[in-house]
């Protein structure tokens, strides 16, 4: 089990600032910015001369169709130019979180356990074991009926195989350092 450090997306930081000040169109105090689910994806890598390597996390990835932050595997399918991944390498899987997935580990720091059970996401939709490189954490969108990515991490490739669970712990730090 790896511990991944995620970065907050640009929009999440902006919406949190607006929410705290009740400005910029967020006029309701009912926005639930709790983390509700995660999405693992097959994006998050670059093809170097030595083969595929982890891409550093980009906190400004946007789906060209919805303008929402998403993991790279979802964004790539919306790109009209600069397509990064083959069509058969853009699989992704979403799963809801429960309170049992969250652990307070230190001041300003929580960890979220993100597990794909043995029977989950064993096929990327093209008959292959998914090769995972990225994870996004999501919350409700503050102004539309949708969710959006609030934090993102990339990691060295992990292959999800049938019969085996896959777990990563995502660490979020709520403090500038």
Report yes or no on 76 lying in a domain. yes
Domain count, the chain: 1
pLDDT higher for 27 or 41? Answer: 41
Within-domain flag for 161: yes
164's tokens: 């085996």
Question: Considering the domain boundaries, does residue 28 fall inside one?
Answer: no
Model pTM score: 0.85
* Rounded (10°) CA dihedral 125, 50, 76, 171: 90
Q: What's the angle, vertex CA 175, arms to CA 153 and CA 103, rounded to 5?
A: 65
Do 28 and 14 touch, CB atoms closer than 8 A? no
pLDDT digits 0-9 by tens, 82-91: 667 666 667 8
- Let me know if residue 24 belongs to a domain: no
Helix or strand (DSSP H, E) at 4: strand 2-5
Read off the pLDDT of residues 118-166 as tens digits, 9 standing for 90 and up: 999 999 888 899 999 999 999 877 666 677 888 999 999 999 998 899 9
118: containing domain: 2-18+33-173
């Amino acid at each position: 089990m790896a511990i991944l450090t995620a970065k907050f997306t640009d929009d999440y930081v902006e919406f949190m600032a607006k929410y705290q000040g009740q400005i910029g169109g967020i006029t309701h105090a009912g926005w639930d910015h709790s983390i509700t689910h995660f999405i693992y994806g097959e994006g998050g890598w670059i093809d170097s001369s030595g083969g595929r390597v982890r891409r550093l996390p980009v906190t400004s990835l946007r789906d060209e169709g919805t303008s929402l932050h998403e993991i790279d595997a979802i964004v790539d399918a919306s790109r009209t130019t600069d397509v990064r991944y083959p069509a058969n390498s853009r699989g992704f899987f979403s799963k809801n979180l429960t309170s049992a997935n969250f652990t307070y580990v230190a001041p300003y720091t929580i960890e979220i356990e993100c597990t794909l059970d043995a029977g989950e996401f064993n096929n990327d939709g093209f008959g292959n074991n998914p090769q995972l490189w990225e994870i996004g954490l999501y919350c409700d969108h503050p102004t539309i009926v949708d969710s959006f990515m609030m934090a993102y991490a990339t990691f060295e490739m992990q292959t999800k195989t049938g019969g085996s669970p896959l777990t990563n712990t995502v660490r979020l730090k709520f403090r500038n350092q």
